[in-house]
């Protein structure tokens, strides 16, 4: 006998309610690995649109594409949040060479750093001084730096297992190198790429002049790790060699762009918000698949996977695709500003901005009491080899939402290969593994499900985990 549709729906709902948390996570992972959308979305974002530098036409295309795809999911709300962003353009491909005292030249691979000014017309050529840090630079003083090109050659520390720690240990030379060298009269800066391996790819990234007057602002470029080794070795043999580079980048007027936001409105606590997100902009050398196309499509799929798994959230779940993380953080600042104006209660914010590699766990910015509650869920993730639950940082885009009472978190994939691609021309779609990407989406969805079900208050005496 055929059962009426209302009865079938009732039985389905009762089955979902009766599922243990372990069974619900199994459903989420199965759905992501057999019926995921993240890889398909990333394919289009990377191969049909490409690099999405803030303020560019491709960034605008990415906004429209992701908005349309979110609308297809049948969410309760999808909208664009306007935000003014900087527009920096690279110009023609950069060119550089090392000129020995004998007059022979050796071409090397460089790229302008984001936010840098151009070289003078026709390029700049000058003697080189090599330093490892700002202390060495200051010790040289204006007398030995003025009129020179400063070469910052501090490598990422290879014995640190946490590669983001290695990155943090030397990225200040990229960000502030031109500012510090400009104060001493240098005419240019060359920075060793933030890369743990030796290869021929220069890695771009943001830099700043701070409040330096225009007269002290000098062009700044990254050099590949292989060519950094070459330049250092040649300097050891020939202190009088010169370096030439030419770049035509420029800063344009600010333009309007958007954060892309979609929401499933909560059934019981609609004014408590849980957000997942990544940044939609990327650098322009590759197509931004790992940084941060992966985080965007994983975050989009969180909302789809919740629906596909039969989960009706109690709290409002938002996906936020932030604009301008790479060179300004304008999207994150605007989202937090509007949330504060509206008095929105963001209890939990999760960001994926560490590549589409195999997920290992999460780091949480929260109190000890709340962390103890979250850590009690670790056993649910163990079957998926997710063991890393640590207190620590979250993400640049969700950071502005942090308060004394809420939780911010970051997805932590295996990071050993991340800086091979970070901000370089090989950050492309073919370097993202479909299964790893989908595991990340499922891992994020699972955590969101648990946060939505149990909230972020410390464990109470009568709270029971259905594992």
Q: Which residues are catalytic?
A: 325
Quick check: helix, strand or coil at residue 404?
coil
Contact 323, 111 (CB under 8 A): no
Q: Is 242 exposed, middle or buried (0-12, 13-18, 19+ CB in 10 A)?
A: middle
End-to-end CA separation in angstroms for the chain: 36
Contact 53, 257 (CB under 8 A): no
Contact 78, 262 (CB under 8 A): yes
Tokens of 285: 């050398």
Q: String of b and e for 86-110 (b: at least 16 CB within 10 Å)?
A: bbbebeeebebbbbeeeeeeeebbb
Instruction: Report the distance separating Cα 278 and Cα 166, nearest Å.
Output: 22
Contact 279, 296 (CB under 8 A): yes
Quick check: helix, strand or coil at residue 358?
coil
The size of the chain, in residues, is 467
Contact 190, 152 (CB under 8 A): yes
Report which of 236, 256, 219, 281 is spatially closest to residue 423, judged by C-alpha positions.
281
Tokens of 345: 């209660």
Pairing mode of beta strands 220-223, 188-192:
parallel
Instruction: Report the distance separating Cα 59 and Cα 329, nearest Å.
Output: 15
Quick check: helix, strand or coil at residue 378?
helix
Q: What is the dihedral of CA 393, 395, 399, 404, to 10 degrees?
A: -40
Residue owning tokens 């800063």: 251
Quick check: helix, strand or coil at residue 385?
coil
Quick check: helix, strand or coil at residue 225?
helix
Contact 20, 467 (CB under 8 A): yes
Q: String of b and e for 278-313 (b: at least 16 CB within 10 Å)?
A: bbbbbbbbbbbbbbbbbbbbbbbbbbbbbbbbebeb
**Angle at alpha carbon of residue 279, lines to 275 and 282, rounded to 5°:** 170
């Amino acid at each position: 006998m055929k059962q009426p549709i209302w009865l079938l729906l009732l039985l389905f709902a009762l089955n979902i309610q009766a599922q243990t948390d372990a069974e619900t996570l199994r459903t989420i992972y199965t759905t992501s690995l057999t019926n995921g959308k993240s890889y398909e979305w990333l394919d289009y974002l990377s191969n049909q649109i490409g690099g999405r530098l803030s303020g560019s036409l491709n960034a605008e295309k990415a906004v429209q594409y992701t908005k349309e795809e979110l609308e297809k999911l049948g969410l309760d709300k999808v909208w664009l949040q306007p935000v003014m962003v900087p527009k920096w353009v690279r110009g023609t491909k950069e060119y550089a060479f090392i000129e020995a005292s004998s007059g022979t030249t050796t071409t090397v691979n460089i790229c302008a750093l984001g936010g840098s000014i151009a070289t003078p017309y026709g390029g700049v050529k000058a003697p080189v001084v090599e330093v490892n840090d700002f202390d060495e630079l200051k010790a040289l003083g204006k007398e030995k730096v003025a009129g020179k090109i400063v070469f910052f050659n501090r490598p990422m520390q290879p014995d640190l297992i946490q590669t983001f720690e290695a990155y943090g240990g030397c990225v200040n030379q990229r960000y502030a190198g031109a500012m510090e060298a400009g104060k001493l009269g240098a005419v240019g800066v060359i920075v060793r790429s933030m890369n743990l391996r030796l290869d021929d790819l220069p890695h771009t990234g943001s830099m700043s002049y701070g409040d330096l007057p225009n007269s002290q602002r000098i062009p700044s470029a990254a050099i590949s790790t292989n060519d950094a080794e070459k330049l250092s070795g040649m300097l050891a043999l020939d202190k009088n060699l010169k370096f030439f580079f030419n770049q035509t980048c420029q800063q344009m007027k600010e333009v309007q762009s958007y954060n892309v936001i979609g929401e499933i409105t909560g059934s019981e606590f609609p004014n408590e918000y849980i957000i997942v997100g990544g940044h939609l902009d990327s650098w322009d050398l590759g197509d931004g698949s790992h940084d941060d196309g992966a985080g965007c499509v994983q975050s989009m799929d969180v909302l789809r996977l919740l629906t596909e798994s039969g989960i009706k959230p109690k709290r409002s779940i938002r996906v936020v695709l932030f604009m301008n993380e790479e060179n300004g953080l304008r999207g994150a600042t605007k989202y937090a500003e509007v949330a504060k104006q509206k008095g929105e209660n963001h209890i939990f914010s999760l960001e994926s901005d560490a590549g589409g590699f195999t997920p290992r766990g999460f780091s949480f910015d929260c109190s000890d009491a709340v962390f103890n509650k979250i850590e009690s869920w670790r056993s649910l993730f163990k079957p998926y080899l997710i063991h890393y639950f640590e207190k620590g940082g979250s993400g640049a885009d969700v950071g502005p939402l942090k308060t004394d009472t809420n939780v911010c978190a970051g997805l932590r994939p295996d990071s050993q290969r991340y800086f091979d691609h970070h901000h370089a021309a090989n950050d492309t779609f073919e370097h993202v593994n479909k299964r790893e990407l989908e595991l990340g989406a499922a891992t994020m969805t699972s955590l969101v499900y648990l946060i939505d079900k149990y909230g972020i208050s410390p464990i109470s005496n009568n709270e029971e985990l259905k594992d």
